[in-house]
Amino acid sequence: MKSLRVLALGLAVMSGIGAAQAADRRVTIVNATANTMTRLYASPSEGQPVDEDMLGDTILKPNQSATLVIGGSADVCNYDLKAGFDNNKTSVRKVNVCDVRTYRFTPN
């Protein structure tokens, strides 16, 4: 499997969070669908939606992956991951980024 490594701090609030805690928010996103993932947004489940695409100029073809740093408040673990695909469909998943190290986006 090809692997693209992307480190995106996005909207991470790093003041008050130690380097070890920030590293614990690293999540590998695997595109296990038949479509190319063109966008990925990570918003706290209990917060405002984020409009910054964490993939930037990167795309994830089927079976490719990217490792992202998803950050925010040290006590926030539950995030809504919203993926956009080349077929104009989106998929939103609730993920505990404190516990999950690899998340596979599979077909709905």
pLDDT at 64: 98
Using the predicted structure, report yes or no on whether residue 9 has a pLDDT greater than 80.
Answer: no
- pLDDT of 101 reads 94
Distance CA 86, CA 13 (A): 31
40 closest CA partner among 16, 4, 14, 73: 4
- Model pLDDT, residue 38: 98
**pLDDT grade, residue 24 (50/70/90)?**
low
pLDDT tens track for 47-94: 888 889 999 999 999 999 999 998 767 788 999 999 999 999 999 999
Instruction: Check: CB of residue 55 under 8 Å from CB of residue 69.
Output: no
DSSP 8-state code for residue 21: H
